Structure 1
Amino acid sequence: MALRSFLLLTLVLALAVAASPIRVRNNRITLPMARRTNHLGIRKVLQNDRNRAALLQGGRQALREAKKHHKGKGNAGGAAANANATATAGAAAANGTAAANGTLASDDNVAATNQGEDYVISVGVGNPPTTYNLLVDTGSSNTWVGADTNKPFVQTSTSKSTGQQVEVSYGSGAFAGEEFEDDVQLGGLTISGQSIGAATEAQGFTGVDGIVGIGPTDLTVGTVGGQNSQTQVPTVTDNLFSQGIIGENLVSVFFAPATSANDTNGELTFGSVDDSKTVGNVAFTPLTTTAPASQFWGIDQSITYGSSNTTILDTTAGIVDTGTTLILMATDAFQAYQQATGATQDQTTGLLTISNADFNNLQSLFFNIGGQSYELTANAQIWPRALNSVIGGNNDQIYMVVSDIGTNSGQGLDFINGFSFLERYLSVYDTANNQVGFAATQFTNATTN
């Protein structure tokens, strides 16, 4: 795709900036990005992913109904359960929150950040800046700080209150507070007047200061100024582009497969794609028009297994999501996958497990997206064996990263390609052209697990 000729500036952000110095080369700013594992949360990885999926499947309308019917002490997960008639959504109810008069509530933003595994970026807010460690989430679009009460939002000379309240609900928590506009520093570059939430209440976030949301801008509708507000809040990506800091309104995400609990193994690139991370070109596919997947970074795909092209999932809509750890697929597809692989369910983790003999015979899984086929090898379909202990598993077991979303296909959001997929392919989220792209990396066929 063509870049604006007057400027090509790629901002590459990484998690855990202390791991290596900032590098400036060819108008590119690169910082290291590290995976953060919450040992308490990851033991509930499947539950967390399903809770998130239930809210995503409910879409914005389900959460509007949740806020309407559960003032004071309601739950967004319950609304998702009504919308989808699923036990999975019912499980999400335990994580829901609600509020009146500016306290925590269900909201139109239907995203959640998995607190088992996530990525955290160092962001400066204000002048002089206060540095916050913020989760990176493609499934939400608001940026906010103050999750840690010991590190609240600090007003400086550049801070300007909008006079409006902000509320966002997540599968694993929620926050409420006041919306500001302020300077935001990313890798030494400054965004002026970035809309940012200052939390006065937050639930469900441990060891982080908030979220930087890089989802579609539409997800911010109803989050600032009340649930009936139609105001869109420009994302960090939007403002980087509109202020001429980057050449294209897109962001790309690169993860390498993890081999330890807190690897420095990724990059977040605003404005372009880091070609040094790809093998071949990025192939793009348009965003799906099927709701509710269309409200997120949603795509259409089918899934087949093995050299015989056994159908696992017919072409349907789902999403690509950094906030989900596993690969989730519709119940009927999951059952077909389990039958094809010979895997059985482990009662401790809830994940599929497979014997060494069956693993030796495990064939590739193919994700067919936009006329391209993306292969997950046998090794890519299993949980990193070096990390079995952090999910409460046995060291000598082989666990699978494909799991059940909790509903049969036909819901309008029948799969989620989470971390386990994104660790094998670089992904690109192109706001300007309403498309998502993928490219192979050196880790696509690696045997790291």
Structure 2
Amino acid sequence: MCVTYPAIHLRAIGLIGNQISVFLIVDTGSSNTWVGATTPFEETGTTTPTGDEVFVQYGSGFFFGDEVIDTVDFGGPLVIPQQSIGTAVFSDGFQGVDGIVGIGPTGLTAGTVDNEGTIPTVTDNLFALGIIPDPVVSVFFAPTNDTFDVNGELVFGGIDPGAFTGDLIVFPLTTTFPSSEFFGVDASFVQSGATILDSAGIVDTGTTLVLLADDAFESYLATTGAVIDNNVGLFTVTPDQFATLPTLEVILSGVTFPLTPDAQRLPAQLVPAFGGDPDLVYLIVSNIGSDSGSGFDFVLGQFFLERFYSVFDSRGGGAVAFAPTVFTNAVVNN
């Protein structure tokens, strides 16, 4: 049986042990599940300490703490009675959430917990317990102008055919390291007919923006005329520049997934929450911090996934799949 779970900007609400309600990032770019970033973890009658320490480094933060075995309950049948989870002693970069539900490839947990090889993910355990038929998670969520809008769903174990409008196309994972360690794909990025990047990168629900290798992003800037707003950390264009902003095409195995101009902008209603200038248009495309050629040259984050249904398949060698939705070409962010 596939199980559908409502999502708030790819955040999940669950219970740890028999009393602790937590608000967690759902992250395909990592695989450890942990709590304690905001609400300190307290052992209950269901907690079994392992005596091992855990440390995970992320692109925008880290956590260090103790690994325990405990019950994880996301509601309905999504109950794992013995999930290995981290309990943070110290963390940085996770304001406003309690931690992460890591649903990336299991191999990403290697070396994160003392005296352990890899740690089964929540997807692994839901499949092993027979709660879901396959180790697959699919994601749908709509563009939103509200920071706490219930705007999507996770489906554990399969897909929701009613959430997309066209063909669901499956792509193999890249063999290029280090993107091959993640849900990584090979893709080209084309703007105004010119290829600005042709490389490997990852698909990541835990990243907000679409990130490009620095040299590719310089080409993007040259076309858009965007400049940085240092107070916000995002690049901006004027309304006149936005009126001529070209579509950014993401091409996988010859299939084009277009990021329209509207898909490249931060929703206008969210600009004040970011401390931005309401007279400017803020873009959701930015630079990754290194030039292309590293094998990790782009990240397709949340704003890309708002426009396409996505599937993360851990069977065999792994795969990802995308399909258009009613929001692929919609104008919703003005």
TM-score normalised by length of structure 1: 0.70
Residue 11 (str. 1) matches residue 3 (str. 2): yes
Give 1:213's aligned residue.
Answer: 102
User: Alpha-carbon deviations, 1:163-194, whole Å to 9, x = none?
Assistant: 32222223443323332222221222222321
Aligned to 1:365, which of 222, 238, 248? 248
Cα distance in 2, alignment partners of residues 133 and 423 from structure 1: 20
Cα distance in 2, alignment partners of residues 202 and 153 from structure 1: 16
Aligned to 1:436, which of 299, 315, 320? 320
Instruction: Indicate how the Cα distance of structure 1 residues 207 and 365 shifts in structure 2: closer, same or farther if over 3 A, else same.
Output: closer
Give 1:123's aligned residue.
Answer: 14
Instruction: Indicate how the Cα distance of structure 1 residues 388 and 281 shifts in structure 2: closer, same or farther if over 3 A, else same.
Output: same
Residue 287 (str. 1) matches residue 173 (str. 2): yes
Where is the helix percentage greater, Structure 1 or Structure 2?
A: 1
Give 1:446's aligned residue.
Answer: 330
Give 1:34's aligned residue.
Answer: 8
Give 1:19's aligned residue.
Answer: none
In the TM superposition, residue 350 of structure 1 has moved relative to its aligned partner by 4.1
Cα distance in 2, alignment partners of residues 153 and 370 from structure 1: 48
SS of 2:257's equivalent? strand
Where is the strand percentage greater, Structure 1 or Structure 2?
A: 2
Cα distance in 1, alignment partners of residues 330 and 231 from structure 2: 28
SS of 1:281's equivalent? coil
Aligned to 2:90, which of 180, 192, 201? 201
Structure 1 counterpart of 2:186, one-letter code: D
Give 2:185's aligned residue.
Answer: 299
Written as runs of structure 1 = structure 2, the 5 A alignment for 1:21-420 is 33-35=7-9, 119-126=10-17, 128-148=18-38, 150-156=39-45, 158-189=46-77, 190-225=79-114, 229=116, 231-306=117-192, 309-313=193-197, 315-420=198-303
Cα distance in 2, alignment partners of residues 352 and 165 from structure 1: 39
User: Alpha-carbon deviations, 1:424-448, whole Å to 9, x = none?
Assistant: 1111111104111111111111101
TM-score normalised by length of structure 2: 0.93
Residue 421 (str. 1) matches residue 309 (str. 2): no
Structure 2 counterpart of 1:217, one-letter code: T
Instruction: Indicate how the Cα distance of structure 1 residues 207 and 347 shifts in structure 2: closer, same or farther if over 3 A, else same.
Output: closer
Structure 2 counterpart of 1:159, one-letter code: T
Cα distance in 2, alignment partners of residues 381 and 172 from structure 1: 22
Contact 2:238/2:279 (<8 A) preserved: no
SS of 1:276's equivalent? helix
| Structure 1 unaligned regions, length at least 5 | 1-8, 15-32, 36-118
| Structure 2 unaligned regions, length at least 5 | none
Structure 2 counterpart of 1:352, one-letter code: F
Instruction: Indicate how the Cα distance of structure 1 residues 133 and 249 shifts in structure 2: closer, same or farther if over 3 A, else same.
Output: same
Contact 1:253/1:269 (<8 A) preserved: yes
User: Alpha-carbon deviations, 1:286-343, whole Å to 9, x = none?
Assistant: 111111111111110001123xx22121x20111112221111112211222222333
Cα distance in 2, alignment partners of residues 343 and 202 from structure 1: 34
In the TM superposition, residue 264 of structure 1 has moved relative to its aligned partner by 1.6
Cα distance in 1, alignment partners of residues 40 and 167 from structure 2: 42
Give 1:89's aligned residue.
Answer: none
Contact 1:145/1:153 (<8 A) preserved: no
SS of 1:264's equivalent? coil
User: Alpha-carbon deviations, 1:257-288, whole Å to 9, x = none?
Assistant: 12122222121111011112111222111111
Equivalent residue pairs, number = 331
RMSD: 1.8
Structure 1 counterpart of 2:50, one-letter code: T
Contact 1:153/1:199 (<8 A) preserved: no
Contact 1:130/1:154 (<8 A) preserved: no
SS of 2:4's equivalent? strand
Quote the sequence identity (%).
48
In the TM superposition, residue 249 of structure 1 has moved relative to its aligned partner by 0.6
SS of 1:332's equivalent? helix
In the TM superposition, residue 237 of structure 1 has moved relative to its aligned partner by 0.3
Cα distance in 2, alignment partners of residues 382 and 312 from structure 1: 19
SS of 1:420's equivalent? helix
Structure 1 counterpart of 2:320, one-letter code: V
Cα distance in 2, alignment partners of residues 191 and 277 from structure 1: 27
Contact 1:252/1:428 (<8 A) preserved: yes
